[in-house]
Amino acid sequence: MASHMQTLTQKASRLIALALFPDTCLGCRRHVSERGVLCAECWNGMHFVAEPLCAITGEPFQHDFGGNMVSAAAIANPPAYRRARAAVLHTGVARQLAQRLKYGDQGELAPWMARWMVRAAGAMMSESDVVVPVPLHWRRYLLRRYNQSAELGRAVAQQAGLDFAPEALLRVKPTRRQVGLSAAERRRNVRGAFRVPPEKEIAVRGRRVLVVDDVLTTGSTIDAAAKALLRAGASSIDILAFSRVVPHFVARR
């Protein structure tokens, strides 16, 4: 009897949810067959990051030269993290989703975006112990009311069955927005910006940390975050983001 009532309750909840939040495209909100998918037009506007790409930074290459390729930037300035991956290019529909999550207070997008991130992560998921999101400075958090990277990180951790430590990393320096800064200015901007509180070191010490962010640009922010986590005793750092900015890249179809 109890299980029957539970089934009826679940069906009723589903009907109410469908009435209040009909199954619409994540991108344009047209009607689709099921929740959490894109319509054909928006799907064609998504550009998923795929091989060939840099084995370290995850930056996609325009041409496949064979072998385990590493970008010139990663060779010239090896990052503190082990690998970085992103699900999609930061353009078109993906850019709209990222902006709606970040500025539109639409946290309900995070679980659907996280599905693509988990797929893009590949072996990184099984080689990680704990998920740590890139934090906001407390002043910006008060303005935004929530951290979009934490929403993505929570969803990734739940889907992958990993521990989630949203307070393991703090942003202790109120950095400028990175948009419009040169690569050198970005590095200076985030230098010393992150710290692991002593009471939170247990969450990362000796563990393989997966750092989650919403958008990757030059990599300065995630590199600074990785260095702070390594100083706190993390054994390795991998990076996972929803989208990646790649100027002048021509997406393949």
* Tens-digit pLDDT profile for residues 16-38: 444 544 688 888 878 787 777 78
Res 9 pLDDT > 80: no
Pairing of strands 170-171, 194-195: antiparallel
CA–CA separation, 56 and 71 (whole Å) = 8
Is residue 149 in a domain? yes
**Residues 227 and 238 occupy one common structural domain:** yes
CA–CA separation, 15 and 10 (whole Å) = 9
The type of residue at 234 is: A
List the domain range (segments joined by +) for residue 10.
1-42
Is residue 100 in a domain? yes
**Residues 160 and 75 occupy one common structural domain:** yes
**Residues 50 and 13 occupy one common structural domain:** no
Confidence (pLDDT) at 20: 46
Confidence (pLDDT) at 201: 96
Distances (CA, A) of 11 to 7, 8, 18: 6, 5, 11
With a pLDDT cut of 70, the percent of the chain lying above it is: 83
Structurally, the chain folds into a number of domains equal to 2
Residue 71: CA count within 13 A, CB half-sphere: 20
Is residue 193 in a domain? yes
**Residues 34 and 59 occupy one common structural domain:** no
Confidence (pLDDT) at 17: 44
CB 207 within 8 A of CB 129: yes
**Residues 68 and 38 occupy one common structural domain:** no
**Residues 34 and 154 occupy one common structural domain:** no
**Residues 137 and 151 occupy one common structural domain:** yes
**Residues 92 and 214 occupy one common structural domain:** yes
Res 48 pLDDT > 90: yes
At how many degrees (to 10) do helices 92-103 and 110-121 cross? Answer: 130
The band of 198, judged by pLDDT with boundaries at 50, 70 and 90, is: very high
Is residue 224 in a domain? yes
Residue 250 in tokens: 């021509």
Confidence (pLDDT) at 249: 67
* Tens-digit pLDDT profile for residues 79-124: 999 999 999 999 999 999 999 999 888 888 999 999 999 999 999 9
* Tens-digit pLDDT profile for residues 120-143: 999 999 999 999 999 998 887 887
Is residue 251 in a domain? no
Res 57 pLDDT > 60: yes
**Residues 237 and 212 occupy one common structural domain:** yes
CATH number at residue 164: 3.40.50.2020
